[in-house]
Amino acid sequence: MIKPTCAILIAAVIVVVVSSCASKQDRDPVEGQPDTSVAAKPPARIGSEGVDTSRLTIADSSVTVRSDTYPMPKGRVVNVLVTGVDARLGERGGRADANHLVRFFLDSGCVEIIAIPRGTPADAGFPDTSTFNMLANVRTARGQSGYFKAVAEIAGVPKVDYWVEFGFSQALGLLELMGYRDNAQATLRVLRSRKAYATGDYQRSYNQGQFIRQVMLRTFDNTDDVLGQLAMRAALALVETNLTYDATQSILEQLRQKGFSSQSKDRVWVRVKPEEVQHFQVFDFDSTKVGEMDKQISHRVDRTIADSARVSSQNVEARLGRMVARAVADSARRPVGVMQALQRPYQQRAWMQISNRQARRMYRDRICGLMIYAYRRVGREADAKGVEQFLELDRSINAGMKAD
C-alpha cells in the first residue's frame, strides 16, 4: 500500500481535512500548553445497538489553551491555506466550509496550524444586519483574492503564499491515500460533524487541525522515499492548488534540515482563531477508531442534519451516469458540450464518491477519455495531455494499493 505523505497534510484538511496516532504512552494532547486535564467521563448509556450514546468515549483528554502559551518561532515562514469547499456535484464555486492556515517556520523547523471556523465574522458584502457576513461566504461573494485577504486578517499574518482547495470527492481520495481506504466515508463524516459538540464549529475546526497534526507526525518520516514521492504527486493531482511538487519538496526538506521528524511532537501545534473558545476535547483519529466515533456521532445527531448525513454512492453514480450519457451524445458533433458536461465533475474527481471500486474506475476512465477526446477536437492539446498524465498517475497509485 502506498505510504501517505506530508504532502497529503498540505493537501488535506478539512476537509477539510483525519488522523493517525501514537500509542497511549506517546500521546501529546497538551501541544506545549501547560493547562491540561483529563476529561471526566459520565456514566455510559448504552443504546439498543450497543452504542454508548451519552458521550464520545474516544476522547483521550481535554486541553485548555491560551494565546500567551503558544510558541513564537522567528525567521522565514511559508503560509499554506487549505480549504475544504462545500460544492455540490458538478457545481462551480462553493462556500469555504473548512479553513486551515498551515504555517511552516523554515528557520526553526516548526509548524503551526491555525484553524478558523467557517462562521467567523467577515465582510462578505452583505448588509450589516445580515447573518451572511461570515468567512464561509467570502469566497463566493468576493472571490479567491478577497477570501485570502480575509483569512490573512483573521489569522494575523501578512499574506497567503500557497493555497490548496478540494471538495467532498477529492477529500475521499486524499483519505484513501492516507490509509483510510476502507473507511474514508466514515472518517470524513467524523471530521465534518459539528452538532455533536457543545462548542459546535469551534470543536470541529480544532478536530480537523488535530487531524492534520497527527497525520503529519505519523507520516513525515516517509516523505523522502520513492513511494512517498509518488503519493505526494498523486495528492497534489487530486486537488486544485498553486503548490508544485518542487515547492512542496523544498518545504519538507528545509523542515528536515532543521531536525523536524515524526517524533517532533512539540514542534507542531494547533490553535483556533478567533480565540473565543479555549477548552477543547482531544481525539485520537486513528483509522481503527473512527468507526466507533462515527457510530456515536450518528446516535447523538439526527442523521437528517447535513453535517452528519450519509452521502448515497448510488445517487452519485446515477447522476454521473446521466452526465456521461449526455456527453457521449454530444461527443460526435459538439465536443464543447462534452467539456461543459464533464469538466467540473472531472475537476472534482467525482467518481471517488462511488464505493464500488470497479465502477469507480470505469467512470474515471470514461470521463477522462471523453475529456481527452473533446480537448483534442477543439485543439486544446495541453489540456488533453494534462488529463492523460493525471490518469496515468492515478492508475499507478491504485496499482500500489492493496488489491480490491
What string of DSSP letters covers 252-264?
HHHHHHTT--TT-
The verdict on residue 205 lying in a domain is: yes
Whether the pLDDT of residue 402 is over 60: the answer is no
Rounded mean pLDDT, 202-222: 91
Q: Are residues 270 and 336 in the same domain?
A: no
Nearest 10 degrees: CA dihedral of 218, 220, 224, 225? 0
Q: Are residues 104 and 55 in the same domain?
A: yes
Q: Assign 221 a pLDDT band (cuts: 50, 70, 90).
A: confident
Rounded mean pLDDT, 173-202: 89
Lowest-confidence segment of 61-75, 207-221, 278-292 by average pLDDT: 61-75
Rounded mean pLDDT, 89-110: 91
Q: Are residues 237 and 174 in the same domain?
A: yes
Whether the pLDDT of residue 22 is over 60: the answer is no
Q: Are residues 263 and 339 in the same domain?
A: no
CATH code assigned at 81: 3.40.630.190
Helix (H, G, I), strand (E, B) or coil at 390: helix
Instruction: Give pLDDT, residue 400.
Output: 63
Instruction: Give pLDDT, residue 122.
Output: 96
Q: Does the CA dihedral 91-297-25-68 come out positive or negative? A: positive
Q: Are residues 66 and 157 in the same domain?
A: yes
Q: Are residues 264 and 136 in the same domain?
A: yes
Whether the pLDDT of residue 301 is over 70: the answer is yes
Counted domains in the chain = 2
Q: Assign 66 a pLDDT band (cuts: 50, 70, 90).
A: confident
The verdict on residue 133 lying in a domain is: yes
CA–CA distance, 354 with 337 (Å, rounded to integer): 24
Q: Assign 288 a pLDDT band (cuts: 50, 70, 90).
A: confident
Rounded mean pLDDT, 71-76: 92
Q: Are residues 228 and 339 in the same domain?
A: no
Nearest 10 degrees: CA dihedral of 246, 247, 251, 257? 40
pTM of the predicted protein model: 0.81
The verdict on residue 224 lying in a domain is: yes
- The answer to whether the CB of 274 falls within 8 A of the CB of 125 is no
What domain range includes position 366?
A: 313-400
- Of 253, 284, 306, the residue that ends a domain is 306
What strands lie across the sheet with 110-116, from one edge to the other? Answer: 240-241, 162-166, 77-86, 95-105, 110-116, 268-272
Whether the pLDDT of residue 321 is over 50: the answer is yes
The verdict on residue 1 lying in a domain is: no
Lowest-confidence segment of 21-30, 154-163, 389-398 by average pLDDT: 21-30
Q: Are residues 335 and 247 in the same domain?
A: no
The verdict on residue 284 lying in a domain is: yes
The verdict on residue 342 lying in a domain is: yes
Give the DSSP H/E element, type plus range, for residue 362. Answer: helix 357-377
CA atoms within 13 A on the CB side of 269: 19
Measured in degrees and rounded to the nearest 5, phi and psi for residue 63 equal -140, 140
Whether the pLDDT of residue 233 is over 60: the answer is yes
Instruction: Give pLDDT, residue 398.
Output: 79
CA–CA distance, 113 with 127 (Å, rounded to integer): 32
Whether the pLDDT of residue 339 is over 80: the answer is yes
Whether the pLDDT of residue 249 is over 70: the answer is yes
Instruction: Give pLDDT, residue 43.
Output: 44
- Of 254, 284, 306, the residue that ends a domain is 306
Rounded mean pLDDT, 243-264: 94
Q: Which three cell numbers stand for residue 263?
A: 517524533
Q: Are residues 292 and 321 in the same domain?
A: no
In 3-state terms the chain splits into helix, strand, coil percentages (rounded to 5) of 50, 15, 35
Rounded mean pLDDT, 330-342: 93
Percentage of residues of the chain with pLDDT beyond 70: 80
Whether the pLDDT of residue 403 is over 60: the answer is no
Lowest-confidence segment of 4-8, 118-122, 217-221, 315-319 by average pLDDT: 4-8
Rounded mean pLDDT, 50-75: 64
The verdict on residue 74 lying in a domain is: yes
Lowest-confidence segment of 46-55, 314-323, 327-336 by average pLDDT: 46-55
Instruction: Give pLDDT, residue 93.
Output: 74
Instruction: Give pLDDT, residue 294.
Output: 87
Instruction: Give pLDDT, residue 303.
Output: 54
Q: Are residues 326 and 264 in the same domain?
A: no
Q: Are residues 18 and 78 in the same domain?
A: yes
- Of 306, 323, 342, the residue that ends a domain is 306
Instruction: Give pLDDT, residue 379.
Output: 97
The verdict on residue 200 lying in a domain is: yes
Q: Are residues 169 and 317 in the same domain?
A: no
